[in-house]
Structure 1
């Protein structure tokens, strides 16, 4: 479980990112959220909790899946995320969707409250093992589904982390994984080669230790398409990776951004775009039947 300092840092990062979050023109969180809802087999009439709902990538597809006879509750630590998600839910006419500010590490709901709990690119940020996953099992009804998506920590054939484009991997990874003085954000990135997401077997073992059954783990590539290396850099500043840039002084950030953009621009295809296949991990498990 994250400590109070890391929780405060998560709150700061995602509150400050909320206005630009998933608004850069790069298709990423939306496709992942839709795929997660499909992977979780959300059905009409179900009660669903979206943990770390952000601006609604999984929240809105889940709302459409449960229909007007179901219910979807989105929770997020960042008030600004909740504000945007709530406004968008209202504009879409999704009256079955509600949102509230809540720490996803400590979901404050009665036991057996939901048919499904989903977390699209959220739960991985603060979970380090089975103990942090057990609260989600507790609020599921018997046989209910837990499903989450995360960047792939599975090593590629070259031993690198596939979520970062290979040509900039060695430039960026140290800034994501090496702690700096006073850095309280206790994220799995800091232990990238030894955490519960590093192999399909580790994911399955952790979910089983958390009390889940019928575990399925799948890695799928999502192509990220950008017009330039600079657009990719801007995209990383619009979500949780902005913390990478926040940790640098102005000159260091400017130099690093220029180097990253230049390397990515060398990958342009004939039509002028850059396509970066990005591995995403989807996991699904069930609460035991009573």
Structure 2
């Protein structure tokens, strides 16, 4: 047995099996998807995850010397800004279920000389870390994938010190009650939503936020606040901000989505049909070019923060 296979058998497989907040199938789906996407993840040249990560760290109020946990740290969109914010006297622990994501993030951290970063392969739904260790727990475009209720958020409260800060960011779900998904430009939303829902159904995640928008905790600021208060947090604040995502062609937008979690949707479309869908998406988006040849897709992002009680 090679070292890689032994490592997967001894570390990754138990990680997948031990999840307590999603089915084994859904967790394994995430693991496989993000392992495949890791090399290209956030590397398409389209500015999306990094500005969200920077804004989340700013919104979190992370200060020098703090101890921070980044859940679902991916390629470091929030991890690296957090490391800069805490400085050499602080620490940032990044966890991700994908060992490929961790591998690439570790290489990038080493290249940037960010020695205050520690990276671990770990299921973010069930972080096995010391209670009360962190001043802040954050998650940029990660937690929304599996969190559905106060019970799913409570483990992060337990990791915080008294008065610590929980903060996360997600593509806005405020419009899902109208059948609109934030990451889809208006021009292609009705074309792509059926494929997204079918993908979720095939992956066993059909009860997700997309398909069950009305019961989704992210559907409104009021629902977010209610969920976080029920989990035991205090002083909840929620803001929705628009992120202008720019591409030079509809094809580039498709390529960008293929380097994100939406890859799962594309891969479930039969090849010949997928070519037709991509061509139609590209045609519709190309029609939106401005005089400089730029297509701007406004994406609403929700940022939320709350504190652990001080006593």
Shift of 1:164: 1.5
Q: Distance in 2 between matches of 1:274 and 1:177?
A: 26
TM-score (norm 2): 0.90
User: Are the aligned partners of 2:233 and 2:308 in contact in 1 as well (CA < 8 Å)?
Assistant: yes
Q: Tell me, what secondary structure is at the counterpart of 1:33?
A: helix
Q: Distance in 1 between matches of 2:106 and 2:298?
A: 32
Structure 1's consecutive aligned runs of 4 or more residues displaced over 3 angstroms after TM superposition are 156-159, 178-182
The answer to whether the aligner puts 1:217 opposite 2:245 as a matched pair is no
Superposed, 1:194-273 pairs within 5 Å as: 194-273=215-294
Specify whether residues 68 and 205 from structure 1 end up closer, same or farther in structure 2 by C-alpha distance, changes over 3 A only.
same
Q: Which residue of 1 aligns with 2:34?
A: 14
Specify whether residues 24 and 180 from structure 1 end up closer, same or farther in structure 2 by C-alpha distance, changes over 3 A only.
closer
Q: Distance in 2 between matches of 1:252 and 1:133?
A: 39
User: Are the aligned partners of 2:199 and 2:265 in contact in 1 as well (CA < 8 Å)?
Assistant: no
User: Are the aligned partners of 1:179 and 1:190 in contact in 2 as well (CA < 8 Å)?
Assistant: no
Superposed, 1:127-206 pairs within 5 Å as: 127-155=147-175, 160-178=180-198, 182-185=202-205, 187-206=208-227
Which runs of no fewer than 5 residues in structure 1 stay unpaired? none
Q: Which residue of 2 aligns with 1:286?
A: 307
Shift of 1:28: 0.5
**Residues 32-80 of structure 1 deviation map (CA, whole Å, 9 limit, x = unaligned):** 0000000000000000000000000000000000000000000000000
Number of residues of Structure 1 aligned to a counterpart in Structure 2: 290
Specify whether residues 201 and 271 from structure 1 end up closer, same or farther in structure 2 by C-alpha distance, changes over 3 A only.
same
User: Are the aligned partners of 1:176 and 1:190 in contact in 2 as well (CA < 8 Å)?
Assistant: no
Q: Distance in 2 between matches of 1:166 and 1:176?
A: 15
Q: Distance in 2 between matches of 1:32 and 1:181?
A: 28
Specify whether residues 48 and 155 from structure 1 end up closer, same or farther in structure 2 by C-alpha distance, changes over 3 A only.
same
Q: Tell me, what secondary structure is at the counterpart of 2:135?
A: strand
The answer to whether the aligner puts 1:121 opposite 2:141 as a matched pair is yes
The answer to whether the aligner puts 1:110 opposite 2:130 as a matched pair is yes
Q: Distance in 2 between matches of 1:159 and 1:54?
A: 28
Q: Distance in 1 between matches of 2:198 and 2:126?
A: 27
RMSD between superposed Cα atoms in Å:
1.5
Q: Distance in 2 between matches of 1:212 and 1:263?
A: 44
User: Are the aligned partners of 2:177 and 2:214 in contact in 1 as well (CA < 8 Å)?
Assistant: no
The answer to whether the aligner puts 1:89 opposite 2:105 as a matched pair is no
Among candidates 62, 81, 84, match of residue 64 of structure 1: 84
User: Are the aligned partners of 2:237 and 2:304 in contact in 1 as well (CA < 8 Å)?
Assistant: yes
Shift of 1:189: 2.3
Q: Distance in 2 between matches of 1:281 and 1:26?
A: 19
Q: Tell me, what secondary structure is at the counterpart of 1:277?
A: strand
Q: Please say which of residues 172-181 and 34-43 is displaced more in the overlay.
A: 172-181
User: Are the aligned partners of 1:114 and 1:139 in contact in 2 as well (CA < 8 Å)?
Assistant: yes
Which runs of no fewer than 5 residues in structure 2 stay unpaired? 1-20
**Residues 182-219 of structure 1 deviation map (CA, whole Å, 9 limit, x = unaligned):** 52246422323430101111111111111110000000
